[in-house]
Amino acid sequence: MAQNKTSKAWVHRHINDHWVQQSQAKGYRSRAAFKLLEINEKDKLFRRGMMVVDLGSAPGSWSQVARELIGEEGKVFALDILPMDPIHKVDFIQGDFREESVFRQLENLLGGKQIDLVICDIAPNLSGNKITDQARSFYLNELALDFCAKWLKPGGCFVVKVFQGSGYNDYVNLMKEHFQQVLTRKPKASRDTSTELYLLGKSCLPQLPSDLDEML
């Protein structure tokens, strides 16, 4: 009975959510689009003609935003373990990016070209155990940072969702080894009750330490 009440409350909140309504009105696949739009409005991450990689892309709202902001001449490469409906001029790979073979597919698509921006709104499947879920989340974050270390252009940027708690400060410090500046963002579209934050790594350093490879 309690579960049913909780489910009904969630559905009611979701239907009446301002950002859900806005995403439906504007044709975005989820309210998360407005998180990236707000970060971009403040930090001016996108420009026409960029190459962008979207890690953990499904259902596709961040890829939609990226596609709009970089124009027809830009390129978006997206990856997720879940299926994602096609988006015009977005190259999508379905697979688990914890597997090296999946990353190899993505790297083959890049054709040896470095990336201007990596965006990552990924979260693990939740088990309900906070310690386990936090560890899984930061493992995915570390893999995303490892990808940035290999493929971001010097001066490139990285936006990643993180959750406050165990491992957060260590991850921030790790990002500081790879970027000239690391900033914290909490968009209005992010629910107040959520512990999620977004870290923005600006200006990828041209020569990155190999410590991350040793950690993974």
Does the residue 172 lie in any domain? yes
Helix (H) or strand (E) holding 91, with range, is: strand 90-94
Higher pLDDT, 138 or 17: 138
CATH of the domain at 103: 3.40.50.150
Report the pLDDT value the prediction gives residue 207, as an integer from 0 to 100. Answer: 60
Range of the structural domain that residue 82 is part of: 30-215
Does the residue 175 lie in any domain? yes
- Tell me the binding residues for S-adenosyl-L-methionine: 60, 62, 80, 96, 121
Does the residue 64 lie in any domain? yes
Report the alpha-carbon distance of residue 181 to residue 160 in Å, rounded.
14
pLDDT of 1 over the 90 cut? no
pTM for the full model? 0.87
Overall domain count for the chain:
1
Convert the pLDDT of each residue in 151-180 to its tens digit.
Answer: 999 999 999 999 998 899 999 999 999 999
Contact 187, 38 (CB under 8 A): yes
Convert the pLDDT of each residue in 104-145 to its tens digit.
Answer: 999 999 999 999 999 999 987 777 777 888 889 999 999 999
**Is 202 part of the annotated catalytic residue set?**
no
The active-site residue, picked from 153, 161, 186, 202, is 161
